Structure 1
Amino acid sequence: MSLISLQDTITIAMSVADRHASAAWYTDMLGFEVIYHADEAGWSEMQTKTPGVTLGLGEHTKPAPGNMVPVFGIADIDNARAKLEGADVKFDGETEVIEGMVKTATFYDPDGNALMLAQDLT
Structure 2
Amino acid sequence: MYVPGVTVWYSVKNIDHTLAFYTEKLGFELLYHDQESGITMVKTNTENCLIGFSEADSVVPSTSSTVFDVENIELAVDKLKKDGVTFIGDIEVIPDFVKLATFIDPDGHSFMLSEQLTEL
Q: TM-score, normalised by structure 2?
A: 0.49
Q: TM-score, normalised by structure 1?
A: 0.48
